[in-house]
Chains A and B, each alone.
Chain A
Amino acid sequence: MSQGASDHHPEPAGSNRPRLQLHVPEPPARPGAIPDFAAHAIPPAGATPRPDPTTPAGEMRDLAYGLIRVLDGGAAVGPWAPALSAETLRRMLRAMALTRAFDDRMFRAQRQGKTSFYMKSRGEEAVAVAAAFALDDADMLFPSYRQQGLLIARGHPMVEMMNQIYSNRADRLMGRQLPVMYSVKEKGFFSISGNLTTQYPQAVGWAMASAARRDTRIAAAWCGEGSTAEGDFHSACTFAAVYRAPVVLNVVNNQWAISSFSGFAGGEATTFAARGLGYGLAALRVDGNDALAVYAATQWAAERARANHGATLIELFTYRAEGHSTSDDPSAYRSADEAVQWPLGDPIRRLADHLIALGEWDAERQTAMDLDLAEQVRLAQKEAEKNGVLGHGLDQPLESMFEGVFADMPWHLAEQQAQMLAEWRAAGLPDQVRRPRNDGLEGHGAGDGQ
């Protein structure tokens, strides 16, 4: 923005060419400013055509620049409107609301000092939950860190998720991972890395293996718009296109990568869905706050993959309504009103309005459900906390730190393990920091909170 910089530079000798300018993107609104969404063209719901899922990618490039939308007030309109029963819609609504209730409770738990870190998904619940509804339970998910809705939708017990968040004695990951970096193999949920977009080529590889083995399962991956800049994203798209891998590649464009708006990932010049076109991938751009649009697009991409027509890149256009994590303060870099005024609204409210318009839901049921979910989350938390909270972290058996680096422990790790234990014992500390594990809480998941 500082155009005055050129004043400090001498006139280039022997040249009358115009001076060059470096473009450094700036978001439309900083703190204190009025939000400005003029850069985002929002087409009306129902206006985007729905080609057959087997259509060659080159014949539907417009979809990468449009925005698939289904919900129009209370109505579900246009060719992408999925024919879902009211019961399915209510289950979807419930999973989204449960995700939000879970997030709220765990955010507070972090603020209460019960764990080190948490990441909410407020505003992005449809991105995960509706996708989980559109995929088969056997399909393999390679998520990033803000798709907890996938686990909620697949019925993973909240107590287990909380055990991981607390790194407590019942944490199946033995306290090794930062909170929310879940791994749940039996739910087809791949271990979350924390390094960005590494899961993208891994998902493609899993899908390639599934195809090479003539399996029927497909894979799906999620990354943020910011991390589409990573090389892994481009490697993955290349592999996905080359081998027509049966994979659904989701880009969650929630506008913000910590404090960097989407312009720093290239969002000023084009859409993120359009990234797919250069690879020859099918590419859809979807209203990510419209659960029915997310469902329909995911279902379309899954059908395409299952029919051996390859991968689809889906940009889910949404908004990160809260901070990046408990370590972030978004009021320091963006307009506080952006989340409130987001033109595509709140995904839970919008789906509820649809059910109300169908005569299948009402305010009383909504209130009762919210109370019920809050209570379930509270009970799950109570149950999880019987296994402990993070505290100083040393309730995990000290020696477990060295286990599982390799299938068999080599001598150098065994030696370091023995040395550590000897040093702690010599200092008289182990008995102080280790609680006995004979409290009947061994094993995973003391109960299903849902």
Chain B
Amino acid sequence: MTDTRDMSMIQAINSALDVSMARNDTVTVMGEDVGFFGGVFRATAGLQAKYGTHRVFDTPITECGIIGVAIGMGAYGLTPVPEIQFADYIYPALDQLVSEAARLRYRSAGEFTCPLTVRSPFGGGIFGGQTHSQSPEGIFTHCSGIKTVIPATPYDAKGLLIAAIEDPDPVLFFEPKRIYNGPFHGHYDRPVTSWASHPAAQVPEGYYKIPLGQAAIAREGADLTILTYGTMVHVVASTLAELPAAEAIDAEIVDLRSLVPLDIATIEASVRKTGRCLIVHEATRTGGFGAELAALVQERCFGSLEAPILRVTGFDTPYPHALEWAYFPGPVRIREALRQIMRD
């Protein structure tokens, strides 16, 4: 085991890229502003200086082009890790991702594959307005042939990103940018916290990976299962911790970490144990990944359920700017759902 040090999620992602590039000279980082500047969030800082412009380079502002070019590079034999600067900008690349990257292995019967890892900051809570706040993961989990991974801690971010880069198939790696620099308790009116004192910010300097498709139990509990991922893992944990003693709930938080492939065994085991299931995500509700989770849980655990499955999600509106904290599925809304699901 290599030495560990305190890392923010950004530093852990940077370290994962560095480690991957050092181990495999086909790993190629590309995207808007990722080169000399090192990315608008600094995730690629220092990589161009270390690995050169053939392996880390800035691109024109065309997400369609970035992904299309990366697919071609993958077909050549490289391992591209393109960055889409904000997940809100991914839509021009939708056809290249959904019709091309996700289907190349299948349609060519394995002649050509697409070992792509698309990194993209997603989610709100940063006053980003409608174009810097969205959570589009449900669009991609609906499509066959592409994996979707979302870390919630620096340790997981590094281990999952290395696994994604080594995966032979296309992976969307959505980075919850609200927790790039510290876990988020969900309160807009309190000081921000840093990763410094968090146990999951102790990250090995060297190589390790976390298999895709394995959830983590972020908090063990007996009375309620909460299925969530990304920023909301921390918001849910804080909300539980802040409940008045009389309302305390021994809830189990399942941090899914990977939506496709999904760790259904961990989900099933937890819901069978607790008999209740709450789903929390920041993305819009209708047709979102929470709907899929709810369907899976009721299909598989119906006999164990003691209350209807509930969802706390973003509303089905565009992500607002000024009203961000009314939109965000924060402690107020989570607490209300907790009361309802424990009462039923």
Q: Tell me the residues in window 81-128 of chain B with beta carbons closer than 8 Å to chain A beta carbons.
A: 92, 95-96, 99-100, 104-113
Q: Are A238 and B65 in contact (CB under 8 A)?
A: yes
- Can you list, as one digit per residue, whether each of A205-248 has a CB less than 8 Å from chain B (1) or not (0)? 11111101100000100000000000110111011001000000
Q: Please judge, given known A-B contacts A193-B100, A195-B99, A195-B100, whether A200 and B111 are in contact too, CB under 8 Å.
A: no
**Least Cβ–Cβ distance between B273 and chain A, in angstroms:** 20
Q: Are B72 and A205 in contact (CB under 8 A)?
A: yes
A365 at the interface (CB under 8 A from B): no
Q: Please judge, given known A-B contacts A406-B105, A406-B145, whether A201 and B111 are in contact too, CB under 8 Å.
A: no
Contacts of A236 in B (CB 8 A): 65, 68-69
Contacts of B55 in A (CB 8 A): 212
Q: Are B60 and A201 in contact (CB under 8 A)?
A: no
Shortest 7 CB-CB distances between A and B: which pairs? A205-B72, A201-B68, A235-B65, A205-B69, A209-B76, A202-B72, A191-B108
Query: CA–CA, A411 to B268, complex, Å?
Result: 14
Closest residue of A by beta carbon distance from B92: A231
Contact of B68 among A202, A209, A407, A411 (CB under 8 A): A202
Query: CA–CA, A189 to B131, complex, Å?
Result: 39
Query: At the interface with chain B, which of A3-11, A89-97, A177-185, A339-347?
Result: A177-185
**Least Cβ–Cβ distance between B309 and chain A, in angstroms:** 19
Q: Are B96 and A191 in contact (CB under 8 A)?
A: no
Q: Tell me the residues in window 3-41 of chain B with beta carbons closer than 8 Å to chain A beta carbons.
A: 28
Q: Are A185 and B111 in contact (CB under 8 A)?
A: yes
Closest residue of A by beta carbon distance from B57: A243
Q: Please judge, given known A-B contacts A191-B108, A406-B105, whether A209 and B73 are in contact too, CB under 8 Å.
A: yes
B77 at the interface (CB under 8 A from A): yes
Query: CA–CA, A205 to B71, complex, Å?
Result: 7
A203 at the interface (CB under 8 A from B): yes
- Can you list, as one digit per residue, whether each of B53-72 has a CB less than 8 Å from chain A (1) or not (0)? 01100011010110111111
**Least Cβ–Cβ distance between A168 and chain B, in angstroms:** 14
Q: Please judge, given known A-B contacts A195-B95, A209-B78, A231-B64, whether A404 and B69 are in contact too, CB under 8 Å.
A: no
Contacts of A198 in B (CB 8 A): 68, 95-96, 99-100
**Least Cβ–Cβ distance between B147 and chain A, in angstroms:** 8
Q: Are B28 and A238 in contact (CB under 8 A)?
A: no
Query: CA–CA, A181 to B95, complex, Å?
Result: 18
B264 at the interface (CB under 8 A from A): yes
Q: Are A235 and B105 in contact (CB under 8 A)?
A: no
Contact of A201 among B54, B64, B107, B169 (CB under 8 A): B64
Closest residue of A by beta carbon distance from B111: A185
**Least Cβ–Cβ distance between A189 and chain B, in angstroms:** 9
Contacts of B261 in A (CB 8 A): 410-412
Contact of A202 among B62, B71, B109, B144 (CB under 8 A): B71
B168 at the interface (CB under 8 A from A): yes
Query: CA–CA, A200 to B69, complex, Å?
Result: 9
What are 25 A-B pairs at a CB distance below 8 A? A173-B108, A176-B106, A176-B107, A183-B111, A191-B107, A191-B112, A195-B95, A198-B95, A201-B67, A204-B68, A205-B76, A206-B76, A208-B73, A209-B73, A210-B76, A212-B28, A219-B72, A231-B62, A235-B62, A238-B62, A239-B62, A407-B169, A410-B213, A411-B261, A412-B264
A174 at the interface (CB under 8 A from B): yes
A22 at the interface (CB under 8 A from B): no
Query: CA–CA, A411 to B264, complex, Å?
Result: 8
5 further A-B contacts with Cβ under 8 Å, apart from A213-B77, A404-B105, are A202-B68, A206-B73, A213-B76, A406-B169, A411-B262
B222 at the interface (CB under 8 A from A): no
- Can you list, as one digit per residue, whether each of B197-211 has a CB less than 8 Å from chain A (1) or not (0)? 000000000000000
**Least Cβ–Cβ distance between A5 and chain B, in angstroms:** 35
Contacts of A406 in B (CB 8 A): 105, 145, 147, 169
Q: Are A201 and B96 in contact (CB under 8 A)?
A: yes
Contact of B104 among A191, A206, A235 (CB under 8 A): A191
Contacts of A173 in B (CB 8 A): 107-109
**Least Cβ–Cβ distance between A259 and chain B, in angstroms:** 23
Query: CA–CA, A239 to B59, complex, Å?
Result: 8
Q: Are B145 and A405 in contact (CB under 8 A)?
A: yes
Q: Are B109 and A410 in contact (CB under 8 A)?
A: no
Q: Are A201 and B69 in contact (CB under 8 A)?
A: yes
Q: Are B70 and A232 in contact (CB under 8 A)?
A: no
Q: Are B69 and A405 in contact (CB under 8 A)?
A: no
**Least Cβ–Cβ distance between A439 and chain B, in angstroms:** 21
A30 at the interface (CB under 8 A from B): no
Query: CA–CA, A219 to B73, complex, Å?
Result: 11
Contacts of B78 in A (CB 8 A): 209, 212-213
Query: CA–CA, A407 to B305, complex, Å?
Result: 35
Query: CA–CA, A172 to B213, complex, Å?
Result: 30
Closest residue of A by beta carbon distance from B82: A205
B310 at the interface (CB under 8 A from A): no
**Least Cβ–Cβ distance between A9 and chain B, in angstroms:** 35
Q: Please judge, given known A-B contacts A239-B65, A242-B60, whether A209 and B109 are in contact too, CB under 8 Å.
A: no
- Can you list, as one digit per residue, whether each of A153-182 has a CB less than 8 Å from chain B (1) or not (0)? 000000000000000000011101100010
B196 at the interface (CB under 8 A from A): no
B260 at the interface (CB under 8 A from A): yes
B75 at the interface (CB under 8 A from A): yes
**Least Cβ–Cβ distance between A244 and chain B, in angstroms:** 13
Query: CA–CA, A239 to B73, complex, Å?
Result: 13
Q: Please judge, given known A-B contacts A231-B64, A239-B59, A410-B213, whether A405 and B109 are in contact too, CB under 8 Å.
A: no
- Can you list, as one digit per residue, whether each of A31-49 has a CB less than 8 Å from chain B (1) or not (0)? 0000000000000000000
A190 at the interface (CB under 8 A from B): yes
**Least Cβ–Cβ distance between A401 and chain B, in angstroms:** 10
Contact of A183 among B28, B71, B100, B108 (CB under 8 A): B108
Contacts of A210 in B (CB 8 A): 76
Contacts of B77 in A (CB 8 A): 209, 213
Contacts of A204 in B (CB 8 A): 65, 68-69, 72
Q: Are A405 and B75 in contact (CB under 8 A)?
A: no
Contacts of B111 in A (CB 8 A): 172, 183-185, 191
Q: Are B68 and A200 in contact (CB under 8 A)?
A: yes
Contacts of B144 in A (CB 8 A): 405
Q: Are B72 and A203 in contact (CB under 8 A)?
A: yes
Contact of B107 among A181, A184, A231, A412 (CB under 8 A): A181
Q: Please judge, given known A-B contacts A407-B105, A410-B213, whether A190 and B145 are in contact too, CB under 8 Å.
A: no
Q: Are B69 and A202 in contact (CB under 8 A)?
A: yes
Contacts of B108 in A (CB 8 A): 173, 183, 185, 191
